[in-house]
Chains A and B, each alone.
Chain A
Amino acid sequence: MKEMKGVAPVAIAVVIIVAAIAAVAAYVYLKPEEEVSPGEVELKFWNYWDGTNAQAIVALISEFEAENPNIHITNVPITWGELLPKLMATVAGGEVPEIAIGDLVWMSKLAGTGLLVPLSEFDDFEEIDYEDFYPEMRKIGRYNDKSYSLPVSANNLELFYNKEIFEANGLDPEDPPTTWDELLEIAQVCTDPDEGIWGMELYTGTGEGLTWQFQVYLWQAGGEFLSADLSSAAFNSPEGKRALQFWVDLIQTHEVSPPGPWGFFGQGKAAMVMDGTWMVGGWRPGGWAPITWDWGTAQMPIPSGGEPATNMGGEQIFIFETTSEKEAAAWEFVKWLTSKETQVKWDILTCFMPVRDSVAEDSLYLTWATTTEPRLVPFIECQQYAHARPMVVQYPEISDAFSEELQKALYGVVSVDEALASAEARVNEILAD
């Protein structure tokens, strides 16, 4: 090989490095401009709706585009677990979607970041009939007395039961339990260790799955999760102990509930489970996880002297600060999607719960629910008892810590009192940080 002499090699090295940097810079700054005719706006919409919900949103977007020919919306489906990390990456990179949805528990953080457009500052905000949204949902996405998001979909947790297991054990399949005592009784009757069938499935894994299920029992018993000023834990109370004792009884004392992986009900291995509205859409024939045996739904059984309660899940929609033109176009879409007329269509397509009073009372919607999918009725009736999870930025960390401490009682490692006391200590420490 002929050896290179002089400054040439160094020069070539410099050229290569400069070229590499230039290529990256060119990619970042000189990306071909999207071909947009004057007056037309391109928007990206990030959401984690999948299956039939994804088909529904795509159909609605086309409908909106037909009515608003100047606005083009690209639907970007991302999984639930990926959406927030991806959002963080794009925020750091300076390139955000114009519109996105978020889980309710993310909103306390997102609203305060200064990245979102305060929706209540739009001139025509009054026209959307804001008071028609359920009050618990209006609390979400509020920051400094401004609304940064609007409710777009909702769900809650109620009881699902396997009618065939009920019948096989001589129980009336049209008579689901209404109290905790009845739930325990039926669970005992249905449990069959030889067949691997459990009476009642509880969520015992680490994380929000456990926490948000347990909160239903806590609220039913009359307890609260955090103090009213959101500064400390409130679950270490007689009500909290009663709720946790009930879970420990189901798992440890009576062995009618399995500690462990989730999914027994869907495999036909559990007689009852508390699960979300979306599973009506999933488990029904033609759903995304159809099951062949007969099943029903009912309002969650309540403890004696307790009160009906459920946990409110769902999504809120929000707009990122970009240009005023894009923000205005995004606002048109958000208004349209959250309007009563669109929401009726959306809820019928997806089995989501109404977010507006007027939808829940709409005759078209009610006729559809009672005739086409009556198993949704307990969910619709109980949406009024849905509690919102506390709006604190530390909520995800609190939820994980809470679930880790409660697991110790569910696995029989510590007592109910000890588990709640250590959970209280950890939650208070996180809140004080």
Chain B
Amino acid sequence: MLDLTASGLAQKIREGEVSSREAAEAANRRVEEIEDRVNAFVTPTPEVALERAEKVDTRIQNGRVRPWEGVPLVVKDVLSTKGVRTTCGSKILEDFTPLYDASALVNFGEDLVMVGKANMDEFAMGSSTENSAYGPTRNPWDLGRVPGGSSGGSAAAVAAGEGWWALGTDTGGSVRQPAALCGIVGLKPTYGRVSRRGLIAFGSSLDCIGPMTRDVRDAALLLQAVAGHDPLDSTSANAEVPDYLADLEGGVDGLRVGVVKELMDERIDAGVREVVEKVVGELAVAGAEVGEASLPHAYYALEAYYIIAPAEISSNLARFDGVRFGLREPAEGVHEMYRRTREMGFGDEAKRRIMLGTYALSSGYYDAYYAQAQKVRTRMIQDFREALSRYDVLVSPTSPSVAFEIGAKTDDPLAMYLQDICAVPASLAGVPAISIPGGLSDGLPVGVQLMSDHFTEPLLLRAARAAEEAADFRFELKL
């Protein structure tokens, strides 16, 4: 049962062949069996899973369930879960238990069968899940390597069968890059497509909640479950949610596919480029019109991102001050209390980005850095508009390399940031982007990224489904 797709398991649950409770038990056993090696979870929630699975089973008997309910889900520990500890991978929230559920989880269904809260880089800052206060997650393909990040726990859990699918969050690649490094599918929807309410904020103008799954169909189904307008998130899109499964098998005949030349240069490992080229070649065979696309400002996207994201972080993380929730370090005066609490509660990367963002926003530097980065963002959006007037879908690698060894980049923040070069253009523009496993390089999975225009997820998923079919890769359970 553990190696099924979520859609496959959902069908068995609907048909009564397997109960949701049996599925939850299987996931719980798997977590017990391999978690000491993988560390995909900050907090496994076996009792929550069983209790809710029983409720779903009862509702199934009464015929009151939606197609995805009952399939156990892994939830990144950045999403607030009522009554279940939510740490964000940080010591500062070690004992924090939210008072309400994130809206995306509410949309999923009333009895969300949750396997556990998945490990992540602290406050979703990082590309390896090594910046967690709860220890690194290991890649099920090779336990000496990172799973990517920041949603590395979610990716590893899905790859290793500690759950059938997961929700991650993506600010500058945090769903797509770990999906790529763990050989699964990761979808960052259009900004605003899924409510951010209850998502503990990192970069408010960039953060997106997205599915991490074993195939493209599961990604479509999970997006269907969580998407929608939310009056409690003023940036959530007030646009109708289409049927994401309807066009899935439509193929790519006549579809215009542009390979982004700026994201296929020597900064990308040769083995990664080869896999992307091979998949694109297969799409051409399947009838796609393939050409070269250009996003000229992609050369400046990483730099703009590493100004805008830290600026938003420095503002968002100001709320962790020892007053209303989380850790408090005692001190004589309130200012010393703030300083000590934040010193003890935050890890190195969080501190680095708070400092970088505060500097970029401080008097005398604002125009040179933050305002300039916001203008690059405007240019990036114009680049996408131009490229997507010629092509329906853009293609690039998801990550410049396959999974790297644990510890390889921890002393060099710049080397770590370079992991995001292919992911951040879509983040800045707010367009949807998906990573699918395209094949292997040196025995490790390579992600192929597809991007399309705002709110065209049905088209993107259809192209991704065809690419998945064309790729030399099939999901197999790891470990």
Is chain B found bound to chain A in the same assembly?
no
